[in-house]
Amino acid sequence: MAEPPNLAPAPPTRPAALPAWHPPSPDARAAFVAALRPDEKGLVAAIAQAEGTGEVLMLAWMNAEAVAETLETGRVTYYSRSRRKLWRKGATSGQVQHLLDLRLDCDGDALLATVHQEGVACHTGRRSCFSWGLAGEAVAPLEPVLQDPARLYGREG
């Protein structure tokens, strides 16, 4: 009898317009991870910045495992503090971040990832998580919702 087909979704492919991802060698990845200076919880701040425009898309957290996976796969992976596990950007929503460059700050406690963002970066459906500010006397969204969050995360009514 034939094996049933693998129904797991295929991992997102790198867009043809992007250069192919060539992971650093295992020794280079280990050296990069060793240069991290995480906080007491093992985390460093990670800023995602859009390729070409420099727009800051989001801030999240990475641990050593997330950094190593990001460098190996070219798909940006974070650490979810609330779920206490790795979080592969776009695994649920399809809003994948493809790594173009990963840099460490001078103290080793923060990262800057230059990414190709597929779709929106924010779970609110906005392009950037940094889309709120003062509108007169009130804090309000300054950018429009581009995609319905319920559809992104499969919570349609």
Known binding-site residues for Zn(2+) equal 106, 122, 129
Q: Which residue has the tokens 């790795």?
A: 86
The dihedral sign for the CA sequence 110, 59, 53, 70:
positive
Per DSSP, the residues of 2-51 read PPPP--SPPPPPPPTTSPPP-PPPHHHHHHHHHT----TTS-EEEEEEET
- Report the binding-site residues: 105-107, 109, 122, 129
Alpha helices in 15-147 (DSSP H): 26-34, 64-73
CA distance 103 to 49: 11
Rg of the chain on CA atoms, in Å: 17
- Report the binding-site residues for Mg(2+): 105, 107, 109
